[in-house]
Chains A and B, each alone.
Chain A
């Protein structure tokens, strides 16, 4: 009754009328829309310390033993395990040479995948080729697993006449219609709501497939990440969001990116099935993705996987990461790299040895260098490709601009690098 007296000081006659009736009884009390909660008389604020942090799922842990993989629910045959390892090596060899080639000014830009090979190939190997990929830019391993060839990677980086993207985008902005890998674009986070829409389309058109959307923990701070997760949940989209939490967004460490329990903690807040996985453990990534895919397709709902890893390399060729992190920190992770871990495992189960290792390196390097030389020799596409594909059909005003350029080149052609480009 004290509260009532307190209210009367405002002297609202309407309120007096209201309080003649009992305030509420459970049976007639209206329910808040959109919340399933009990009342409490205890005033308590909740924060990320109010509950335990989400654990990191892993299979490969030290010391690596023979039977760990058999304890998990997913069985992998020998051939698949070896392809997984080979593709990790292929990615790392390609990264090494293309990184160097950028340093020599042969390509304009590059971003390596070092340290994230397991995350990429582990997840890719658990998918069906019909599953549609939306990536950020550090997912070359996914393409590698799907069969993208060295020359395709190279043609894109060189922007030569065999690049399916016609030389229009910066290096590492790969895309392949046949392999269901949506072309990469630079703006961060934009692929995320697109991926949700694509997943809705797969469900609507009853294709037995899901979408997999990769993004970094930095990209997860973008505005687009929020509707992507929220739309996927409210509109029941079969999509796996895979966050590559590698500790850095260029120079910004993850603890300047967020203050909650990483990205995974956001999943349940959107009503999304969520798991945190050791991204350096290829078997754990494979297993988690496989189970996530089954769930997605059976239930038509999203899953969020936060894959914990470490960006071993610089952010890109335009970045020197020692300006903001110590070499000690980097060295710690080099000895725990996903390739080292998986190699140890393969050796333990008798599938790999040092001889095979050096042979694989040698043959991969040889194969890559041959393609590298070939790609470098190819000319760039015809300059007129600059004007194509803006629209499905070229509108009159763009046609006119193309003709203007053509006339210009007739007179001033010697001032342009026409020799490097294809001609009619």
Chain B
């Protein structure tokens, strides 16, 4: 809860409308004090416009990533090699759609709408995580995504459970619980392959070789090239720098790879006694920026499919609205048995 002074006591201020200039200094002071005291900023509280804009951008990008992120995994639903794995994968993709819904709701508390955000995604004005622009070429990729991509996401997102903006922090608590489950399932899938036939082991190794570096890029550019980091950390939206989280992730993955019986594709990867961390090789930042610019292997395919689902579904959404308008007394529902 933010301090009473930071609240708009009238409770009627429209979203996105800043208070009169004479109040701004007082509001800013109360906001800074609330953030400094680790209190939560809530939707009806005054907040700086830039704080609001940063959160909308970040939460929207996060929501978009959940939705686009369904595609590489859905690619394998119809080919899953056992019914148990098929059920796990379906449940996971369903969870991701649910995460998207939580996050769009969290973004809406900042005065935007899901329609507007989807429109920005479809027109390329808002981004999603670059990792989803890589293709899932074999069944083992489903495991590598669970272990590495969800693992990186969790490393990134657990600190967001303490984010200064309340609705985002609360969404992250729910999401991280489910993500941890997905991550363990991915690890377990890879373990089964690694300990399976030679062909299955090779499939697992190949997937890890392809997904390792893109997963490291998920933490964003190096600290000295990250535009928003310093401000986000000052606002306590972020709690740790990109490089700090990336290092944490590498340190977690090395022993896990060893227990999987798989290697990580980095000849420079080794324990550094002095630092108490693993040193690792140089990331190909040219590739990172290139994928971000839209030139990755699947950028075009992912957005096209998302747009098409939206366009092909337009008649359904129009019908639902028309029906609701005709039956505004709510007599639609077939009764539950």
Whether chains A and B associate is no
Which residues of B are interface residues toward A (Cβ below 8 A)?
none
Chain A residues close to B by CB (< 8 Å): none
